[in-house]
């Protein structure tokens, strides 16, 4: 394990004993498993048997990060379509993306036209979540309009 080879990278002392390190690793694993069980990703029995639930299987199959799953658990039947899109736009999977030179100007222009997207960003497009919010709606509107033309 990497933690054994370089404990200082994990903010642990370089001369930590193997027993103490094993104890820390065990605590980390148990804590992670408990989090997965609390969020209904897995079932964990008293004897520490693990069984994935449907959510866990979907998470693994589609490479959905745990933080994203936790965010979607806040979506309810009462959530609006805009809330669902906003939740999707806040997914951890999008964190690696950023703005390109000149994109904000184009995104703000799209955001200002009510016929291009259904839900506008309040004010100006300022962060990555806003960017994805606008672009996702443009894509959805294009798909819906394309389907409508072929019927």
Interval 59-105: pLDDT, tens:
999 999 999 999 999 999 999 999 999 999 999 999 999 888 889 99
φ and ψ at residue 50, rounded to 5 degrees: -120, 140
The model's confidence at residue 51, banded by pLDDT at 50, 70 and 90, is very high
**Is pLDDT of 47 > 90?**
no
Q: Where are the alpha helices (DSSP H) in the chain?
A: 2-5, 18-38, 54-61, 66-72, 81-89, 103-112, 128-150
Under DSSP, the state recorded for 90 is T
**Is pLDDT of 115 > 50?**
yes
Give the per-residue pLDDT at 37: 95
pTM score: 0.75
């Amino acid at each position: 394990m990497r933690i054994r080879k370089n404990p200082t990278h994990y903010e642990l002392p370089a001369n930590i004993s193997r027993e103490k390190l094993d104890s820390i690793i065990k605590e980390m694993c148990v804590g992670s498993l408990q989090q997965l069980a609390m969020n209904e990703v897995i079932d964990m029995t008293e004897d520490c048997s693990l069984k994935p639930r449907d959510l866990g299987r979907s998470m693994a199959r589609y490479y959905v990060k745990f933080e994203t799953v936790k965010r979607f658990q806040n979506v309810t039947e009462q959530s609006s379509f805009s809330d669902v899109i906003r939740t999707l736009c806040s997914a951890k999977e999008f964190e690696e993306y950023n703005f390109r030179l000149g994109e904000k100007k184009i995104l703000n222009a799209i955001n200002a036209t009510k016929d291009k997207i259904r839900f506008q960003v309040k004010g100006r497009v300022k962060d990555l979540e806003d960017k994805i919010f606008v672009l996702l709606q443009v894509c959805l509107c294009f798909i819906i309009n394309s389907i409508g033309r072929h019927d």
